[in-house]
Structure formats: structure tokens, C-alpha cells
Chain A
Amino acid sequence: MSKASKVANMWGDLPEDADFDPVPTSIKEAGAAQLAEGEFEIIERPNLLKAKVGSEVGADMAAIARAESVIESFKASYDERASSELEDIHALFTEMKLTKRYDLRRILIAAHEVRGEAGTYGYPLLSSVARSLCELLPRVEVPTQVQTEVIDAHIKAMRTIVTHKIMDDGGELGKEVVSSLIKAVRKLKASA
């Protein structure tokens, strides 16, 4: 039933204005005991961060608004950068196809970055396509003809989205394209 436990709470009854020094920064300093299988230890520390930021509670909405402005300012340069990164991905995969020497991890890393950044900068459709590509690539070493076509379709879709600055969900056509790509990837994953 109840497991044996050990507690390392060195500050539980200290008054509000207590001096916490020395504050342990390691398990050993916190008085960790030798544990056996099934045993556990709970270690609590004083909330030093809270003391550092002040006693007030709650989000600073002005700070969040400033950070939103920051994201907006970064969006301005994203179109050009995304376009360049997608051209690089396209050139990389074209070269791999020509030389038959595949290192799809390089494309995966690039697509993963596109996925994360595109969503941040207001390209949800681009992020969805990149995510779908990221689902497929880890499962492929040397792509078959069908896998090559599906990878190409993803790259083409991503380039089209950026070229036409499709910053929403792309409407019915956009949803259909993403849905088709996701279905293709699922089918390939299922058959792998």
C-alpha cells in the first residue's frame, strides 16, 4: 500500500522574513537519502524567484503586448527568409535525386525549422504542410518513387504558399491540399 517516503523539507515552518541562506543547489546539499526501489523523496525549496520578482501576482499585459509587437516586427522579414529557405530545400532534394545520394535528415531539420517558425509568423498552412513532411521523413532512408513524389508535393506546396503569401488556412483549396498530403503520408506510414 503506502510507499515509504523520505522528506527533505528544510524550510517548512520558517517565518515569512526568514533568511533562506544557505539554499541548497544540489540533491546532496538538500540532504538526499539513499533510496531503495519504490521509495521516493520530496524536496521543497523556498520560492526564490517569487522573492526576486516581487510580491505582486498576475500577468503583465503591457509586457505581453510589447512581445506581440516584437513578433509582428519579425514577421516583416520572414517572407523573404522563408522563400530562401524553401528554395534551399528544393535545391537540396533535387540534388539528392540527381546523385541518388540521400541524406533526408538535412531536409527534415530544415522542414522542422519551417514548421516552427511559419506558425509563429502567421503561416499556419505552411506550418501544417511542413509538419506533414516532418512526419514522413524520419521513416525514409532512400525514397521510393511514390515517396519521392510525396516529398516533392510537400516542397511544391510550401513554395506555393510562400510565393502567394497565403497567411491564413488557404480556404477550401488550402485545406484540401493539406488534407491530401496528410493522407498520403499516413498511407505511406501504414505501408512502411
Chain B
Amino acid sequence: MAYSLDQLQVLLVEDNMHMRALLRSMLQAYGIRAIRDAHNGQQAIDQLLNYTPDLVITDWVMEPVDGIALTRYLRSDDASPDNFLPVIMVTGHTQEWRVLQARDAGVTEFLGKPVSAEGLYQRIQAVIEKPRPFVRTVDFFGPCRRRQNWAEYVGPERRKTKVGRNQQVVQDMDLEDLLQSL
């Protein structure tokens, strides 16, 4: 038996009204009821001042604030309601350098267009079932980007931490995985 998504609150950020309507209807088909819309990153930021969703699904190219700037705001701005909020980016920009840019901005999962019912569901599922730890360095804060499975890595550069209470294997969002998933 699968889990139920009906308690999730989702902020959907997309400037194309047709794509926004499609994604909203797909989320409803998954069972998600609490969905708020924003037409661009700035509208999303305005809404996030007094609203904290469980998940943000955002397009990349929007004006005046795009999905990358929105993600950076969520990850590092003092006014962000939750620096750890999962962000799924849904975009037609699937070139390698774009994927890397999204990853480095702190995007949690990446879905290239065309969208499919299974593809979007899998990204939501990944956010729920395989949450990656967050990593902070002097110039990065976001979901762990390391390639190897750090929970099992025992080499000299193993990070001094322990597996979380769920004892689950943490799969990092590496570039190969991302590109294969597009």
C-alpha cells in the first residue's frame, strides 16, 4: 500500500498558465489538496512571508525572479521561512551546465520537461523517502551534492557524522543520476 499525499502543502511556482494548470491538476490527481499558486519567484517569496509549505515545485525561467533566485532565497535569506524546504525544479532547461547550476543553488530534485505522471511522482517520492542531509560550507548551503554514498564511505575523507535515526541509505544527487533522469 502506498502512502497518502493528502496532507502535503505544496507551493507551485510557474509563469505559464497552461503548464501551471496541468501541474496543479496532476498534483490533485496524486491526492494533494493544499496547493497554492505563484506566477513567478517574487510572488512565491511574497507568499512565503506568512506561509510555509512542505514542498516547493518551481519552474526555472520566470520574471522578475526566477526559480534559481527563489531557491537561493529559500536556502540562505534570513527571511526564508525554512532553509531546508524541499525544492523540485521542473524545467525545459536540461543542459548539463544548467543542471549543475540548479544543484549548486540548492535544488533538491530536478525534473526535465516534458513532464510525465510518473516522473513528477518519482521526484515527490524521492523528497519523501530519500531526504538528503544538508551540507554547509563557506560558499554552499543545500542538499548534499556528493557523489558517493557517504553513509557507507569509510575512506580518510569520510565526514565525521552518523547516519540519521531512519538508518536509511542516503543517495546523493549526482550529475549522472540527474542526466539519466531527464
Which A residues are closer than 8 A to B by beta carbons?
1-3, 5, 7, 9, 11-14, 16, 25-27, 32, 35-37, 39-50, 52-61, 63-71, 73-74, 81, 109, 112-113, 115-121, 127, 134
B114 touches A57 (CB 8 A): no
**Chain B residues within 8 Å of A74, by CB:** 18, 21-22, 25
Scan residues 5-56 of chain B and give those whose CB is less than 8 A from a CB of chain A.
5, 7-8, 16, 18-19, 21-22, 25-26, 28-31, 52, 54-55
C-alpha spacing A120/B18, complex, angstroms: 12
List of A residues within 8 angstroms of B135 by Cβ: 40-43
Give the complex CA separation of A123 and B161 in angstroms.
48
Cβ–Cβ contact A45 & B113, under 8 A: no
Q: Interface majority SS on B: helix, strand, loop or mixed?
A: loop
Name the residue on A nearest B31 (C-beta): A63
Instruction: Return chain A residues, CB-CB under 8 Å to B121.
Output: 59-60, 63-64, 67
B82 at the A interface (CB under 8 A): yes
Asked if A2 and B156 sit within 8 Å, CB to CB, the answer is yes
Number of residues of chain B lying within 8 A (CB) of chain A: 65
Cβ 8 A contact of A37, one of B91, B122, B138: B138
B145 to chain A, nearest CB (A): 11
Query: Is B5 in contact with A53, judged by CB distance below 8 angstroms?
Result: yes
Show 23 residue pairs from A and B whose CB-CB distance is below 8 angstroms, ordered by the A residue. Answer: A1-B156, A13-B165, A25-B84, A26-B78, A35-B138, A40-B159, A41-B136, A45-B134, A47-B131, A49-B54, A49-B127, A49-B131, A53-B5, A53-B8, A56-B2, A59-B122, A59-B125, A70-B26, A70-B28, A71-B116, A115-B113, A119-B114, A127-B114
B120 at interface, CB cutoff 8 A: yes
- Which of A47, A66, A116, A117 sits near B29, CB closer than 8 Å? A66
User: A67-B121, A68-B117 are contacts. A54–B165 as well, Cβ < 8 Å?
Assistant: no
> CB within 8 A of A56: which of B1, B82, B165?
B1
Type the 1/0 row for B105-138, where 1 means its CB is closer than 8 Å to any CB of A.
0000000011111101110010111010111111
Minimum Cβ distance to chain A for residue B130 (Å): 10
Question: Closest Cβ of chain A: how far from B46's Cβ, in Å?
Answer: 18
> B81-100, CB under 8 A of A: which get 1 and which 0?
11110100001110000000
Q: Does B64 contact A (CB under 8 A)?
A: no
